[in-house]
Homo-oligomer: A and B are copies of this chain.
Amino acid sequence: MSLTRIAVINITGYIGAEVARLLCRHPKVEIVSVTGRTEAGKRLGSVMPHLSQLDLMIDPAPGEADLVFSALPHNASAEAIVPLVAKGVRVIDLSADFRLKRAEQYQQWYDHTHPAPELLQKAIYGIPELHRSEVAKAQLVANPGCYPTGAILALAPAVKAGIIKADIIVDSKSGVSGAGRALTLATHYAEANENASAYSMAGHRHLPEIVQELQALQPGETLAVTFQPHLIPMTRGILSTCYAPLAEGKVAVSQRGAAEVQQLYRDFYKGETFVKVVDTPPQTKQAWGSNLCLIHPTIDLRTGRLIVVSCIDNLVKGGAGQAIQNMNLMLGFPEAMGLEGLPVYP
């Protein structure tokens, strides 16, 4: 049986490299072409030694393939993708270019006029746990941002059920690989090690994704969401701690109420392979290297607040792993194919 042919655009960033690493384990596909932004013509293994085994050259442009992943930065990604979509190729875009439904929002947050606004409605926001059937039929999947994945999965059950007020805070702590492979002072080892900081306090680009997806679950009410990201000294992982006051009359502020909320979450994610509702506060290491999202909801009994903690690996469920989960849906493969690996511990 022939393998499905895959191309990876911009394999030389962390997300692109992780797509490649994970695809190597997948029994039904083969990577036939990879590109990089500056390294065309070199052997992949000379640029990314851990991918030597792939034995590919870095192409200047993606070769013919049945499905293409784009791991380019926003704007550059749309430029590369739009022609492919026009030709009917199925595409999973790991950039932000097709995540927001409204072109003016894209303009506002990315300082750039969207080059193909007509595709925004066509693109499916690729959180399989929320949009599984649409992803399966999509030609173009907008793979979610790393922060939105953890935040949306942590809050979706509560928002959908209407058990919280429309007043949400997401406090996220991310490992440094989330900032990418491009060199910056903030990600220079001696600066990032033994250091923690908040950033993008005037508003982070992942906020509108979070709002868009949560709002869709509770259209009747306008959500007020504060999203505050932080950089902490580790390579992989995002821990999101989410806070919202309980809506009145829905859930008791008690141990029993907390148990009910946990049951609500368990029901919401029943049957999901990758989203696990856990009994104790999860740790990012428990998802490290895997496609898992671990979620623990509880109630602060002193203040009547829902607190939900979620953990993901930012490069897997927050990026490449989720992209492959989407690919499996699009190609009719078992959803977890190639993603079965357990977290790496310790």
**CB within 8 Å of B: which residues of A?**
14, 17-18, 21, 24-25, 48-53, 167, 169, 171, 173, 175-177, 181, 183-185, 187-199, 201-203, 207, 224-226, 228, 230, 232-237, 239, 241, 243, 245, 276, 278, 281-286, 288-290, 296, 298, 300-303, 305, 307, 309, 311, 340-346
Contact = CB atoms under 8 A, between A and B. Distances in A.
Contact of A346 (B190, B228, B241, B307): B190
| Identical subunits present | 4
Contacts of A21: 342, 344-345
Nearest to A315: B346
Given A189-B176, A289-B289, A343-B50, A283 B196 contact: yes
A299 to B, nearest CB: 10
A62 B197 CA distance: 33
Contact of A194 (B52, B236, B307): B236
Contact of A302 (B226, B236, B342): B226
A196 B241 contact: no
B235 A230 contact: no
Contact of A190 (B51, B197, B235, B241): B235
Contact of A198 (B49, B241, B286): B241
Nearest to A48: B345
Most buried by B among A18, A24, A232: A232
B234 A284 contact: no
Nearest to A191: B346
Contacts of A234: 193-196, 232-233
Nearest to A232: B232
Nearest to A24: B342
Contacts of A228: 241, 243, 307
Given A51-B342, A344-B344, A188 B189 contact: yes
